[in-house]
Amino acid sequence: MGSHRRPKQPSRARVTVLTATAAAAVALTSQAAHADPKPTKSEVKAKVDKLYHEAEVATEKANGAKEQQDKLKKQADALQDKVARGQDELNTLRGQLGSLATAQYRSGGLDPSVQLLLSSDPDSFLDQASALDQLSAKQADSLEKIQAKQRALAQQRKEAQGKLTALAEVRETLNENKKKSQGKLAAAQKLLNTLTAAERAKMAEDDRRAANRAAGERAGAGNKTSSSSSSSGEQVDLGNEVPASALGAAALQAAHTQVGKPYGRMGTGPSSYDCSGLTQWAYAQAGAQITRTTFTQINQGTRIARSQLKPGDLVFFSNTSHVGLYAGNNTVLHAPYPGTYVRYESMNTIGAYQTAVRI
């Protein structure tokens, strides 16, 4: 006789697990359907370029804070040295006053008329009294000097403390902008990591091609016709424009010798550069000291129109966050951004032109 047992029903726990699994699968499928598509290489590049720009702004602010920090530290150190020397002088004056007071005390405390009556040698006593009057005058002079020195020291200490307070604030600003720049660069790297190895290699190759110099490039800055790689790898004619001054020509020639050196955040050479670090270094080699940041370099020299550009002039882009040296024929020599090298590049591919300055 065959068995007619009823099929075993699944346990409540098993039903719950199956239901949860099915729900999770549906949720994952729904999420996958609505997930943001992976950004294209061009979208990644645009976002990375924006982050590099923001990092460069923060870097220039950090450069300014670093320059200010160095200046304040020198001033604070000088004031502290001055205070230390002043304290030594004050201690010397106090010692002199102490000697005078001791001499006065030892002269005796008797009334002068009584001392005269008791003196066996009145003439000698009168000579001593005269010396005592002179001693008192010296004492008064010493007191005046001490008071003046104390006032001067108090003022110098106040100035030194003000410099030290400002120095602490500037250091905080410097660290904040360093962190901000590092954060932007880290975000850019994270975006780059979303690309495949082949896509990243292609972008790197584009940068390498942009940094390479073509055969037969000029031997000097602004005095020969030559060509150079643009940001897209195409050749850009540097023309035959004449620098406005020997200073500009020398600065451009100095920067020319650094082509191929890597971009370095807050770099001032000679191993790496950021944009304003390169321009400052180039002009220093030419014998002119200019300030450290784009925000201050733009206020040096003479403002000129774009149509007046000559080789060696400073050209500013993107709300003063970037600077390069004009090289001729709408081309600049500059340190672009992290991962690139000092190179010639068409002004059309760098960013929004702002203004130009002739040092």
Q: Which pLDDT band, with edges at 50, 70 and 90, does 348 fall under?
A: confident
Let me know whether 96 and 135 are in one domain. Answer: yes
Q: Which pLDDT band, with edges at 50, 70 and 90, does 296 fall under?
A: very high
Question: CATH number, domain at 334?
Answer: 3.90.1720.10
Answer whether residue 29 is part of any domain.
no
**Alpha helices, H only, 111-211:** 112-118, 122-192, 197-211
Let me know whether 183 and 243 are in one domain. Answer: no
Q: What is the mean pLDDT of the chain?
A: 77
According to DSSP, the residues that pair with 273 across neighbouring strands are 263, 268
Q: Which pLDDT band, with edges at 50, 70 and 90, does 322 fall under?
A: very high
Number of domains comprising the chain: 2
Tokens of 151: 């006032």
Type of residue at 283: Y
Let me know whether 98 and 232 are in one domain. Answer: no
Judged against a pLDDT cut of 70, whether residue 290 lies above it is answered with: yes
Q: Which domain holds residue 245?
A: 214-358
Domain stop point among 162, 192, 222: 192
Let me know whether 185 and 218 are in one domain. Answer: no
Q: Which residues contact 25 (CB under 8 A, 6 or more apart)?
A: none
Answer whether residue 286 is part of any domain.
yes
Question: CATH number, domain at 63?
Answer: 1.10.287.1490
Let me know whether 138 and 233 are in one domain. Answer: no
Q: Which pLDDT band, with edges at 50, 70 and 90, does 273 fall under?
A: very high
The catalytic site residues sit at 275, 322, 334
Answer whether residue 28 is part of any domain.
no
Answer whether residue 95 is part of any domain.
yes
Answer whether residue 253 is part of any domain.
yes
Let me know whether 170 and 307 are in one domain. Answer: no
Domain stop point among 192, 225, 245: 192
Q: What percent of the chain has pLDDT over 90?
A: 28
Answer whether residue 17 is part of any domain.
no
d(CA 75, CA 163) in angstroms, rounded, equals 7
pTM: 0.59
| Across 130-155, average pLDDT | 73
pLDDT tens column, 7-30 = 555 555 454 444 545 454 545 444
Let me know whether 173 and 222 are in one domain. Answer: no
d(CA 39, CA 34) in angstroms, rounded, equals 14
Instruction: Give the residue carrying structure tokens 């990243």.
Output: 200
Judged against a pLDDT cut of 90, whether residue 357 lies above it is answered with: yes
Answer whether residue 329 is part of any domain.
yes
Answer whether residue 159 is part of any domain.
yes
Let me know whether 143 and 240 are in one domain. Answer: no
Q: Which pLDDT band, with edges at 50, 70 and 90, does 223 fall under?
A: very low
Let me know whether 171 and 285 are in one domain. Answer: no
Q: Mean pLDDT lowest for which of 41-55, 102-116, 137-151, 189-203?
A: 102-116
pLDDT tens column, 42-83 = 788 778 878 887 888 888 888 888 888 888 888 888 888 888
Confidence (pLDDT) at 178: 82
Let me know whether 184 and 293 are in one domain. Answer: no
Let me know whether 185 and 45 are in one domain. Answer: yes
pLDDT tens column, 261-270 = 999 999 999 9
Tokens of 268: 């001032």
Q: Mean pLDDT lowest for which of 231-240, 257-266, 298-307?
A: 231-240
Let me know whether 251 and 136 are in one domain. Answer: no
DSSP 8-state code for residue 260? T
d(CA 186, CA 192) in angstroms, rounded, equals 10
Confidence (pLDDT) at 103: 59
Q: Which pLDDT band, with edges at 50, 70 and 90, does 214 fall under?
A: very low
